[in-house]
Amino acid sequence: MEPEDILVTVERAMIAIRRSQSRRALSRLVPQADQVIFGVLDALEELGRPATVGDVAAALGVDQPRASRLVARAVEQGLVVRRADQRDGRRTLLALTEPGRSHLASAHRTRQQVFAGAMADWPAADRATFARLLSSFTTALGARTERGPTG
């Protein structure tokens, strides 16, 4: 395959992934959950620490008012709790609750089952290579997009 064809193939695959995610195809598989706030739960889990609404907004790539609405829904559903920041009383920190962690664990299991099904006919070596390359690609892409077009 020519280098240009490789880039076209990668671009098309990324568009397909984006479309499936924008339709929330995977999150619809998790029963009885507000699909829109799974991004908030995923972001808090990935940050691995209590976070501000601004942190969540940055992780989701949305503006702060949108993140605030999503966080409010997560709090209303008992999946996230707000706590005063002990170092700065003006700030509120967000943390996952036990039900929030439970919802995430269920979502992880469901997503992983879907991925396993999609790769069921692949040899184990191909699955391992795909995991390694996809992880490497998303890390490199994330670093480039954080630096902006001149980075």
Q: Do the bridges between strand 92-96 and strand 80-84 make them parallel or antiparallel, or are there none, so unpaired?
A: antiparallel
Cα angle value 9/16/14 (rounded, 5°): 55
- Mean pLDDT in residue range 35-51: 89
pLDDT given at position 125: 97
pLDDT of 33 > 70? The answer is: no
- Token pair of 128 as six digits: 């391992």
Cα separation, 150 vs 146, in Å, equals: 10
pLDDT band, residue 70 (cuts 50/70/90): very high
pLDDT of 25 > 70? The answer is: no
Amino acid at 73: R
114-117, long-range: CB < 8 A, 24+ apart? 114/26, 114/29
pLDDT band, residue 38 (cuts 50/70/90): confident
Write the CA distances from 141 to 16, 21, 25, 52, integer angstroms.
Answer: 17, 17, 23, 25
pLDDT band, residue 148 (cuts 50/70/90): low
Domain 3-118 in CATH 3.90.1150.10: no
Q: Is 79 within 8 Å of 97 (Cβ atoms)? A: yes
pLDDT given at position 69: 95
Q: Mind listing the pLDDT tens digit for each residue in 97-122?
A: 999 999 899 888 988 998 999 999 99
Compare 32 and 99 and report the one with higher pLDDT: 99
pLDDT of 140 > 80? The answer is: yes
